[in-house]
Amino acid sequence: MRCPFISGLCFQSDYYALSQVLDQARKHNKRERRMQTRECQPLIGASNAIERINLMIDQVADTNASVLILGDAGTGKEVIARNIHAQSSRSSRPFVPLNCSASPAELLESELFGNETDNLTGAAGAGQGRFGLAEGGVLFLDEIGDMPLPVQVKLLRVLQERCYRKVGGSRSIRTDVRVIAATHLRLEDLIAEGKFREGLFYRLGVFPIEVPPLRMRKSDIPLLIQEMVTRIEYDNRGSVRLSKKVIGMLQQYDWPGNVRELGNLIERLAIQFPHGVVDSRDLPAKYRSEEPVDALDSPVADAAQESTASDVVSIAGHGYRYEKVRQQHRDFADRASAIEDQ
């Protein structure tokens, strides 16, 4: 992939500015090589909101700063966390997720820090806890707003002191773990209600990333459909195509379940109409708009209806969001292609 930072060469002429652009290019290419060696689903979209989030991922990935990802359920918060991990210097170390709302309050502390008494069983990994499993890598705490206050206090201490104790243990364990947290709740409201510690909020929110709901970036829907169909085909679970009218209808729907709901719909249609083309009458009633409009004519909309899997891949993922830069500044990119091997 050509580096997007090369576009800056068109507007910079002095040596200092040029050296900054080249330095950004080298960093970008290092991240791209890491992404290619890790299995990580890219953040799909070409809207301004997704471009902004991708830029923020680039900015924060190679730091050790805590990241707080905010957004509704189903918007792709874990995808963003995994992209940060995959583009960071910790990419070869574990990415360990934990849903803070999935474990009972009395067990969450043991889940996080481990339990000394479990070591007596001798089982592999017994009593280690998520911090132990994530050593050197990333611990992703999903639904952090549901974490009980007593556990919040202990997590805050770990972030401050970089050490923890297992439940039932007396020995302090040093830790080198980067924490990324996510929630669909407004933590400021929880703080006002006394349900979330203000100190933990500021510790986690060093670098906040807000993810917009799908209804705020409907222009990304055709590209998301392509990516979802590509995954279905790659997993040998069939295939499906959508007419332009159907894509237009889907762009009128408000998607309360966000990207997750769209993915469920595409999988359902692939099961119902294997290797077929879905028309408006085939859609479930709630997705049909009263006055449907065709999707805007574009390579994205055309490919969603007619292209093969290989065509979809060629304009999906990371490559699509830099296509305009490559077209406009191809000469500069060609001259700077040698940077990619540095």
Transcribe 125-147 into DSSP letters.
Answer: TTT-HHHHHTTTSEEEEETGGGS
pLDDT tier for residue 335 given thresholds of 50, 70 and 90:
very low
Task: State how far the Cα of 132 lies from the Cα of 115, in Å rounded to an integer.
Answer: 11
Structural contact between residues 210 and 235, judged by C-beta atoms closer than 8 angstroms: no
DSSP H stretches of helix in the chain: 15-37, 48-60, 77-86, 105-113, 129-133, 149-161, 187-192, 198-204, 221-234, 244-250, 258-272, 299-306, 309-315, 318-321, 323-328, 330-335
Instruction: 271-275: list long-range contacts, CB under 8 Å, 24+ apart.
Output: 271/238, 273/240, 274/238, 274/239, 274/240, 275/238, 275/239, 275/240
Answer whether residue 40 shows pLDDT above 50: yes
Task: State how far the Cα of 129 lies from the Cα of 110, in Å rounded to an integer.
Answer: 6
* CB environment 162-175: b (16+ within 10 A), e (fewer): eebbbbebeeebeb
| pLDDT tens profile 226-258 | 999 999 999 999 999 999 999 999 999 999 999
| pLDDT tens profile 297-311 | 444 455 444 443 333
As given in the structure block, the two tokens for residue 341 are 């091997």
| pLDDT tens profile 141-155 | 999 999 999 999 999
Check residue 168 and give its pLDDT.
86
Class of domain 17-212: alpha beta
319-341 average pLDDT score: 38
Domain-by-domain residue ranges, the chain? 17-212, 215-316
Comparison of pLDDT for 56 and 26, the residue scoring more: 56
As given in the structure block, the two tokens for residue 44 are 């799909």
Class of domain 215-316: mainly alpha
Check residue 16 and give its pLDDT.
66
Check residue 279 and give its pLDDT.
94
* Strand partners for 95: 138
Question: What is the pTM assigned to this prediction?
Answer: 0.76
| pLDDT tens profile 174-186 | 999 999 999 999 9
Proportion of the chain above pLDDT 90, given as a percent:
63
Check residue 4 and give its pLDDT.
55
Could you give the 3-state DSSP secondary structure of residue 330?
A: helix
